[in-house]
Amino acid sequence: MIFDGSFSTFGDSLVVGSIGPVFLAIWRTKPTRELFEVQQRELAHAVKRNPGHVAFLCVVEPTADAPEQAVRDASAAMISSHGKNLAACACVIEGTGFRAAITRTVLGGMALVARNAAPTRFFERVALASAWLGEQLGSPQAPRLAEQVELARGRLSTR
């Protein structure tokens, strides 16, 4: 994997970008429709450039409230729409306690029902998601992915 670390930041809410074959979105605040559309558009560009070889890593920080139902529905449709052109999808719901755990469980159940062509899993930590994505992409450099995610997260922290 080549970790180029090219990112775009949208206020204090969202950072998106590519880390080699991984398209990354980090949410610090509740996703709005407008910012979701940025994520959707950028993921589509990444998948179009390298169909079947791009994975999606979405990180939802503990400070981000859940999106409205319309955005949740659009998120599921976004993943499904790429079919086999998306290699894998990992979503990290950060946080501890009942709320974060139940969110991961509910989303995992929804992913099973949606039957996405891309393998999809939900995690509580970036390191776990990075390791899984490394396996899905056949890359041993998962620790570097986790490091790059933290650098991208820093883009939101310093604004």
Buried b (16+ CB within 10 A) or exposed e, 51-88: eeebbbbbbbeeebeebeeebeebbbebbbebeebbbb
How, if at all, do strands 86-93 and 120-123 pair? parallel
Taking each continuous run of H as one helix and of E as one strand, the counts in the chain are: 5, 6
* 67-105 tens-digit pLDDT: 888 888 888 889 989 999 999 999 998 877 666 555 555
**Phi/psi at 25 (nearest 5 deg)?**
-130, 130
pLDDT digits (tens, 9 = 90+) for 15-56: 999 998 999 999 999 889 999 999 999 999 999 999 999 999
For the 6-157 domain, the top CATH level (class) is alpha beta
Amino acid 1: pLDDT: 39
Per-residue pLDDT band at 143 (split at 50, 70, 90) = low
pLDDT at 5: 55
Domain boundaries defined on the chain: 6-157
